[in-house]
Amino acid sequence: MMSTALLTGTPLAGRVAVVSGASSGMGAVTAERLAELGATVVVLARRKERLDSLVKNIEAAGGTALAPAVDITDRDAVQTTADQVVERFGKADLVFNNAGVQLISGIEELKVDDWQRQIDLNISGLMNVIAAFLPHLTDSAAQGKPADLINTSSIAATRILAKFSIISSRLGVPAGQNTGQLSGVSKRSASEPEDSSGHVDSPHPASTASSSLAALPIEPGIRCR
């Protein structure tokens, strides 16, 4: 049976964790928790002022954090950030790939700009982060050290929900990171490379408190970030 005991102490001391979508919601609280457990945390998002505030909170609690403001849809910018992480802290060995957007509409509304925005962030952004940091993880795993990749998916990946057809379908994209596509990416990544000792996971949470939650016309129980 899986233990549900709350971790204490600093079991992540010496590890370098990268958290995307860290300016609010699940990303922000996860970054704080990883730092509390001893990890050095690199927080990624576009909203620099929010990241700076998060870093101040982490440092005030005795942790170490870096906040490079970056748009993860910009592949070169993400790679530059990964290089900066190596220069400052060494290679990352824990990546929480959490950035995403959830724009709800009926498919008949033809909000194609919203569709594209979700594709750019939830799919391309996801892959940009993987491309930049996977070499870090595989190197750590090859040395027999911990290596963890966590891709946040959504409950919309597993259920049929009104006005979530674009988010959930293969023709559209995930809300909150992705749905079927993201879950599929995570499952396939978990088996590649075959000789790796790293770990890949893809949680499917429902609603989480974030700066965008109040603006969305959705019912309780539907996850957004």
Ordered domains of the chain (ranges, CATH): 16-215 (3.40.50.720)
Q: If you average pLDDT over residues 79-108, what whole number do you get?
A: 91
Per-residue pLDDT at 110: 87
Residue type, 132: A
- DSSP character string of 167-185: HHSSSS--STT-SHHHHHH
> Nearest CA to 102 among 85, 86, 88, 119?
119
Please say whether the beta carbons of 18 and 96 come within 8 A: yes
C-alpha span between 159 and 162 (Å, rounded): 10
> Nearest CA to 126 among 174, 91, 190, 193?
174
Residue 50 or residue 116, greater confidence: 50
Whether 191 shows a pLDDT value over 50: the answer reads no
Whether 4 shows a pLDDT value over 50: the answer reads yes
Least-confidence region, from 8-12, 48-52, 121-125, 159-163: 159-163
* Tens digits of residue pLDDT in 31-46: 999 999 999 999 999 9
pTM equals 0.78
- Running DSSP on this structure, what letter comes out for residue 124? I
